[in-house]
Amino acid sequence: MSPAKLRVAICGGGVGGLTCAVALSRSKDIQVDVYEAANEYAEIGAGIGVWPRAWKVLCDLGLAGDLSKAAMVPPDNEPKVAFDFRKGDQSDGIDFYTLVTPGGMIAFHRADFHRVLLNHLSPRCRTYTKKRLVSYQQVAGQSPNLITLQFQDGTSASCDVLVGADGVKSATRRKFVEELASIARARGRSTDAQKLSDLGPPRWSGTIAYRAIIDAERLRSLLPKHRVLNNPMVYFGANSQLTVYPIARGSKINFAAMRAQYDREYTTFDQPWVQDVPVQDLLSEFDQWEPEVQALFKCINKVNRWAIHTTLPLPSFVSGHVALLGDAAHAMMPYQGAGAGQAIEDAFVLASLLTDPRTTLTTLDRALRAYDTVRRPFAQHVQNVSREAGLLYTLNQPGLTFDRPARPEAPADAKKLEEISSRIRRNWEWAWTTTIDSDLQRALRILDEHPGRNGWSCVTG
Ligand SMILES: Cc1cc2nc3c(=O)[nH]c(=O)nc-3n(C[C@H](O)[C@H](O)[C@H](O)COP(=O)(O)OP(=O)(O)OC[C@H]3O[C@@H](n4cnc5c(N)ncnc54)[C@H](O)[C@@H]3O)c2cc1C
């Protein structure tokens, strides 16, 4: 067997890492090693929604057949209700907008989704568990041992390219920003170095998510015509919001309730980020909400509380031969159901560039530059509009708040609800009006460009 043209190590076997591994392991020229910190490759028992851009990637990777079997509704491109929006924080809730999009949002149980990714990994791809990356070193020009990885268990490994797909608490990102900062420092730019160092740690968004899975039969027995049994729903309210949608072919309902305190955004959350809490905690936060929301609460046996953390925008997703993807690169608010989809898109574009015949150890810088050029602006845009969506959903946008229960027949209230509706649609249009294909073509065209005076290196600082 001829030696691989590139040895790629992927740190983290979540949605982004596994998608990257599936995409890379289609090429016999690439050796792929996935290092996962947990004892097994697994996902939490919650829902996940993807939009047409990411769905197209999953189709291109040959996953559509297996994923369609697990989807709530077999995906197609027909107009579908993506979400019904309702103002739910008053005794008589108000239906105010139905978002219809081509194909709608395609919803899965996370465990089903993860299983399909794992089943599609090529046997050539080597996977490891209990390998928590603590740091890495890269020494320019020292191939084949260009990058050395250190794990918590005292072992080490080496690779030509390191993909940091280790989520919002990414150890790769921590080292990555240190690297960028030390380059800036070496160039005498100590203020920039400090700013870069500050980009490392994730920040608390000021928002808590309560997550649960509801048994659909139980809800049906309580309220047979509950609208979430058929349609994905978003319930709005002052400083709070609920996203609920059917998963697992309609047998379960994914439930996420948000409590936002924007005055605490980017402060430190000093308790465990994820914790089981009594259902009573949730009930007391939402006791003024309408009866159909209360019906959801009555069906919850177990709820956990997540402190939602995000990351600040980086000046590059690439440093030397290390590339960040997914939450490690751009952890975002979950209000557009987009974080996993963006990780999938990163993984696909990066893998397509690395597997392209024009990419070799010698031209690696160019491929990584193309990844950063195409993916960073897009993912950071989605990160921004996801935050904006949160401000809208929790009625925190200036001029779009209510100091008493809203009445759709009151012109001022109707006008606000209309404005909220049009902003929801406008902010979210990227998900169905743009395609991953054109971005990928743009990235691949960069592989034909010539390096400028300073070469292709993405080391910024
Ligand atoms: C309430 C909520 C709802 C959401 N809903 C949606 C949705 O509907 N649609 C959507 O697209 N997104 C959604 N998201 C966002 C989505 O879950 C994330 O963006 C996505 O999981 C990121 O994928 P990832 O692969 O980058 O990271 P992760 O899925 O977090 O995977 C990271 C992996 O790396 C491993 N790891 C961590 N540290 C190390 C280390 N040092 N060494 C080795 N391995 C390590 C972890 O164990 C994990 O397996 C939601 C998020 C929340 C909080």
- Cα–Cα dist 391/385, whole Å: 10
Dist. CA 328 → ligand 1 center (Å): 9
Task: Name the closest-CA residue to atom 2, ligand 1.
Answer: 334
Rounding to the nearest 10 degrees, give the CA dihedral for residues 336, 341, 345, 350.
120
Residue 90: how many CA atoms within 13 Å on its side-chain side? 14
- Please tell me whether residues 171 and 101 are part of one structural domain: no
Q: Output the pLDDT for position 281.
A: 86
Q: Are 29 and 117 part of one and the same domain?
A: yes
Cβ(58) – ligand 1 distance below 6 Å: no
258 lines ligand 1 (CB under 6 A): no
Last residue of a domain, one of 310, 330, 357: 310
Residues 328 and 208 in one domain: no
Asked if residue 40 and residue 12 are part of one domain, the reply reads yes
Could you identify the atom of ligand 1 that is nearest to the CA of residue 51? 11
Domain final position from 310, 333, 362: 310
pLDDT of residue 457: 59
- Domain membership flag for residue 402: no
The predicted structure's pLDDT at residue 357: 96
Task: Report pLDDT for 273.
Answer: 96
Distance CA 356, CA 440 (A): 12
Does the Cβ of 234 fall within 6 Å of ligand 1? Answer: no
Q: Does the CB atom of residue 171 touch ligand 1 within 6 A? A: yes
382 lines ligand 1 (CB under 6 A): no
Task: Verify whether ligand 1 is closer than 6 Å to residue 164 (CB atom).
Answer: no
* Domain shared by 121 and 49, yes or no: yes
Regarding the beta carbon of 206 and ligand 1, being less than 6 Å apart is answered no
Give the pLDDT confidence score for residue 460 in this predicted structure: 47
Best substitution site from 36, 51, 109 to test ligand 1's pocket, by max atoms within 8 Å of Cβ? 36
Q: Are residues 291 and 320 in the same domain?
A: no
3-state secondary structure at position 264: helix
In a domain, 409, yes or no: no
Same domain, 294 and 235: yes
Please tell me the distance between residue 351's alpha carbon and the centre of ligand 1 in angstroms.
Answer: 19
Q: Whose CA is nearest to atom 15 of ligand 1?
A: 339
337 lines ligand 1 (CB under 6 A): yes
The answer to the question of residue 423 being in a domain is: no
Q: Which domain holds residue 285?
A: 84-105+203-310
Given this model, what pLDDT does residue 450 score? 75
pLDDT digits (tens, 9 = 90+) for 70-108: 887 778 889 999 999 999 999 999 999 999 999 999 988
Domain count, the chain: 2
Three-point CA angle 55, 427, 47, nearest 5°: 45
Which run of H or of E encompasses 204? strand 203-215
Which residues does the chain have with pLDDT short of 50? 460-461
- The letter for the amino acid at 28 is K
User: Could you say which of 252, 281, 310 is where a domain stops?
Assistant: 310
In a domain, 254, yes or no: yes
